[in-house]
Every structure is written in C-alpha cells, then in structure tokens.
Amino acid sequence: MPRTLKLFLLLTTALALSACDNKTTKEPVIKLYVFECGIHKFQDISGFSPGVDKGVAKTLTNSCYLVKHKKGYLLWDTGLSDSLGAKGIEVKDWKLHLSMKKPLMQQIKEINIKPEDITYLGISHFHFDHTGNANNFPNAALLVQKEEYDAAYGKEPEKYFFDPRTYDKINKDKVVQLTGDHDVFGDGRVIIKRAIGHTPGHQYLYVNLEQTGGIVISGDVVHYSKNWKHKRVPGFNFDKKQSIKAMADVEVFIKEKKAQFWIQHDLEQNAAIKHAPEFYQ
C-alpha cells in the first residue's frame, strides 16, 4: 500500500473515532420530562392559607416528572387518577373540581417509555393527587420515607387523607424505606430530600442537570408562589411547626445549590415550563 494512502486511511479512521468519542461525551447523563397530571379548581382557596383569601377561587395544576438516567428511570409522583378524564368530578365538601385532561399513561407512552421500564417510583407524599396512577407501576421500587410508609400502610391511612385504593398494587417487596436524604443513582445527580410537615414523611426532589443546572421539585412543601413568598402553611398540614422548618430548609438548600425552584401545583409557573415530549438536560 502506498505510504500516502496508508497515512490518509489512518487519519480518516482517527477522525471517525474522535467524532464517536465526542458524541458519547455530549450525551447527557440525565434528562428530565414534565407531565401534566391534573387540574384542581377551588372555589375557595383559603384552606391553603387560613385567614387569608377567604372565598377566593384559584386553579392549581398537578405535575409529575420522569428522570431518565443512564442507570434507570425515576418517576416522581403519579398525579390524579387517569380515570377522572377530562370531564372530571366535583368534590362538593371541598368546593373543588378535579380533572385529568390527558392520561399520564398516554403521555409516558408518547415518549416511548413503558410502565415496566420504570426502575424507581418516588412519591413526595401519599395524598390521592400524587398517588393516583401509582398502581400502574408494580415493578418499580418505591422510595418513601419510613414515617410516610407507616402512615400509608397503617391502620388509619384516611386520617392523613390517604386513599389506599390508589396504591394497593405497589410491590411492597420492592419498597425502600428511607430515614433521610437519598441519592437515587449514587452520583449526586438525583437526590430525594426529606422535608416532613405537610404529611408525616413528606419529601421533595433535587435534580442536577448538565445544561440546565439544579432544579428543586417541591412536592407539597408549598402549593403556589404566593404561599411560598409569605411562608403560609395550609390548615390541613400534618404538622405546622415542621412545615415551617421544611420551607426554611428548602430555601437554604436552593440558595446553596443556586437551583431553580419548581412548585408542582403552581399553574402560572408551570405554564412557562417545557412539558413532554420536550425535556430538560
């Protein structure tokens, strides 16, 4: 083989390998998808801020999230039940209308994910609007604080506004009971943070994306921006003192990580967030 041809082939091979390496390094470790998981229309929002906004109507959204990591998938919260449909239902005692415009299972399918693909199921807390579709993921390992597990599977789950029918098919053999913060994939990218107060074992999520940076996903540490600004505690929270401490701790963590703060139920904030099939990385 002529020397010049041999050098040419070596050069083109090296360039091809270099292009492959660059492609590999540019592939993000994780992606974050956001799903619409229901609408809450309140005729009177004052239950979320006792003594304030009496008789004021407000609409809240409901959000779920999927973290796609090289080591697996984490689904964070499962929203209202898909069975509600777009028409929804009236909850007269709470002066509330609930609806699910687009099924979560359809949204997941549209990004080519199957329920059995989900490695971990992280539920911020066991209120029905966060466990509505949990039974669709019996193969996932549930990541939950011990206090929340004890309340959800104890003798009086209704005492905490939990509905066991929404999570009775979760595989209890795969449950991982947590007693503090938890690094889901072991690399500091996806961390469940303990924040008791709203319920006995409430938790929120921190995701550190390569391009977008840090994002704190609230759970129900707070429900909308006005209450976050004034640090107001809903009258139905499990423990007011712990709720105030949780908000303070979250605020310190956000500043420390220089992270965005996404409030899962805030309709106005969520309008500016990309939803699946788009994603953050």
99-107: average pLDDT: 98
What is the structure's pLDDT at 15? 43
d(CA 50, CA 29): 43
Rg (CA), the chain: 22
**pLDDT surpasses 50 at 94:** yes
**pLDDT surpasses 60 at 41:** yes
**pLDDT surpasses 90 at 21:** no
- The model's confidence at residue 126, banded by pLDDT at 50, 70 and 90, is very high
Query: % helix / strand / coil in the chain, to the nearest 5?
Result: 35, 25, 40
What is the structure's pLDDT at 28? 77
95 φψ region: left (φ > 0), alpha (ψ -120 to 50), beta (else) = left
- The model's confidence at residue 8, banded by pLDDT at 50, 70 and 90, is very low
d(CA 37, CA 136): 14
Q: Residue 14 belongs to what H/E stretch?
A: helix 3-26
34-61: average pLDDT: 97
- The model's confidence at residue 103, banded by pLDDT at 50, 70 and 90, is very high
What is the structure's pLDDT at 22? 43
- pLDDT digits 0-9 by tens, 176-220: 999 999 999 999 999 999 999 999 999 999 999 999 999 999 999
d(CA 115, CA 75): 10
CB neighbour list of residue 78: distance below 8 Å, 6 or more residues apart? 37, 64, 104, 121, 123, 130, 131, 132, 133, 134, 136, 137
**pLDDT surpasses 80 at 27:** no
Q: What is the mean pLDDT of the chain?
A: 92
CA 149, 151, 153, 159 torsion: positive or negative? negative
- The model's confidence at residue 2, banded by pLDDT at 50, 70 and 90, is low
- pLDDT digits 0-9 by tens, 218-255: 999 999 999 999 999 999 999 999 999 999 999 999 99
**pLDDT surpasses 80 at 26:** no
**pLDDT surpasses 70 at 95:** yes
What is the structure's pLDDT at 97? 98
23-33: average pLDDT: 74
3-state secondary structure of 85: coil
Amino acid identity for residue 24 in this structure: T
State the pTM of this model: 0.90
d(CA 243, CA 206): 18
- The model's confidence at residue 10, banded by pLDDT at 50, 70 and 90, is very low
What is the structure's pLDDT at 17? 45
d(CA 38, CA 84): 9
**pLDDT surpasses 50 at 143:** yes
